[in-house]
A and B are shown apart, each in its own frame.
Chain A
């Protein structure tokens, strides 16, 4: 079955880079996503990557996908205090019709000024 795992907590200093890691088990993933949840709010899509890509860059965000190891990472360059939030990794599996999205438990990023 599908399983998405993340570490629970990451602390970085403002201005440093943050790297949030995620592993997944289903090799038939089609899309992998990173969502951000700020306190008291719902999840908001940050970025996504197709399963046939290795890397995607979007301004301060870099997503790396290692399909062999089923490992996904999100790098945030020049981390700001406004980046403090919970980051969820998610994978979509299957083809045709309804395709299930499985979320990790979320990594809480704390940015120290």
Chain B
């Protein structure tokens, strides 16, 4: 199993450009998440999904959109990038607690380092 993979690993954008970050997991997890990590602020949840075709807003959703067309993929889009979106982005996935299969441990990807100039 590859676990959770993210592409790209690094990206530099100019203000106003758009891009999509791809997250893929091969563990058949129901839940998927997008976080951003900034110095001194820890991890903040951007959007999450509890299943294929569903998405929901997290703590800091503004400026981002997401889609979960397939269970294994969770896409994070930036329509018009801003310097404030310079960050490291992490995708994670988990089984929901209700299934009894796990403690809803989140498995993280290696991250995408995004710089917006």
Interface residues of A (CB under 8 A from B): 8, 30-31, 33, 35, 40-45, 48, 88, 92, 96-101, 103-106
Contacts and interface: CB of A to CB of B under 8 A. Distances in A.
A6 to B, nearest CB: 8
Given A41-B110, A99-B97, 15 more contacts: A30-B97, A33-B105, A35-B108, A42-B108, A42-B109, A43-B92, A44-B108, A45-B105, A45-B107, A88-B42, A88-B43, A98-B48, A99-B104, A103-B42, A105-B41
Given A42-B110, A43-B90, A105 B42 contact: yes
Contacts of A35: 108
A103 B109 contact: no
Given A41-B111, A98-B56, A31 B43 contact: no
B40 A96 contact: no
- How many interface residues does chain B have, given as a range? 20 to 34
B5 to A, nearest CB: 10
Nearest to A49: B103
A103 B36 CA distance: 12
20 contacts: A8-B40, A30-B97, A31-B103, A35-B108, A42-B4, A42-B92, A42-B108, A42-B110, A45-B105, A45-B106, A88-B42, A88-B43, A98-B31, A98-B50, A99-B97, A99-B104, A101-B106, A104-B42, A105-B41, A105-B42
B90 A42 contact: yes
Interface string B35-46: 000001111010
Given A33-B105, A98-B48, A105-B41, A42 B111 contact: yes
